[in-house]
């Protein structure tokens, strides 16, 4: 939170505001089990709530669909936090090669990870080969 401002500051922030686009908290936790060369990992990432811009409203104003606002602060929007559980698997292929995969998904269908203009990312799948 913003604790104090210069007496000469004339911007939109006020004491007590949170900086824009900065989550209130972030974190992750995982449990990993390894046996032989195989590994399974289960965990989650947390991105706490944040205040950002309402990019849909900005776009509508720019297109003339919505009336302009008096202050940039009128374009601020509170975004909810997001929990992204994940599952990862690594399997040895022989020698120094292993194949790996990771699945992440959101706990809410409407979860937003960046802003309200970008499409929501419901899940992501990553796969690859590792050479050690």
pLDDT of residue 110: 56
**CB contact at 8 A, 41 and 30:** yes
Residue 109: inside a domain? yes
H-type helices in 38-122, by residue range? Answer: 55-62
pLDDT of residue 117: 86
Residue 92: inside a domain? yes
The number of beta carbons lying within 10 Å of the beta carbon of residue 54 is: 19
- DSSP bridge partners of 84: 45
**CB contact at 8 A, 52 and 20:** yes
Residue 114: inside a domain? yes
pTM of the model: 0.76
pLDDT of residue 74: 96
Residue 113: inside a domain? yes
The three state secondary structure string of 33-49 is EEECCEEEEEEEEEECC
**CB contact at 8 A, 107 and 86:** no
pLDDT of residue 120: 76
Residue 32: inside a domain? yes
Residue 57: inside a domain? no
Residue 13: inside a domain? no
pLDDT of residue 53: 94
The residue range of the domain holding 87 is 26-51+79-131
Residue 94: inside a domain? yes
Provide the domain count of the chain.
1
pLDDT tens across the length of the chain (132 residues): 899 999 999 999 999 999 999 999 999 999 999 998 899 999 999 999 999 999 999 999 999 999 999 999 999 999 988 888 999 999 999 999 999 999 998 876 656 667 888 877 788 899 999 998
């Amino acid at each position: 939170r913003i604790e104090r401002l210069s007496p000469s500051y004339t911007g939109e922030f006020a004491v007590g505001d949170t900086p824009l686009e900065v989550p209130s908290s972030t974190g992750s936790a995982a449990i990993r089990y390894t046996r032989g060369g195989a590994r399974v990992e289960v965990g989650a990432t947390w991105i706490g709530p944040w205040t950002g811009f309402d990019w849909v409203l900005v776009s509508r104003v720019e297109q003339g669909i919505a009336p302009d606002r008096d202050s940039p602060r009128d374009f601020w929007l509170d975004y909810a936090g997001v929990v992204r559980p994940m599952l990862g698997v690594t399997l040895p292929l022989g020698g120094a090669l292993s194949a790996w995969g990771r699945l992440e998904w959101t706990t809410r269908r409407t979860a937003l990870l960046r802003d309200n203009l970008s499409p929501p990312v419901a899940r992501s799948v990553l796969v690859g080969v590792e050479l050690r």
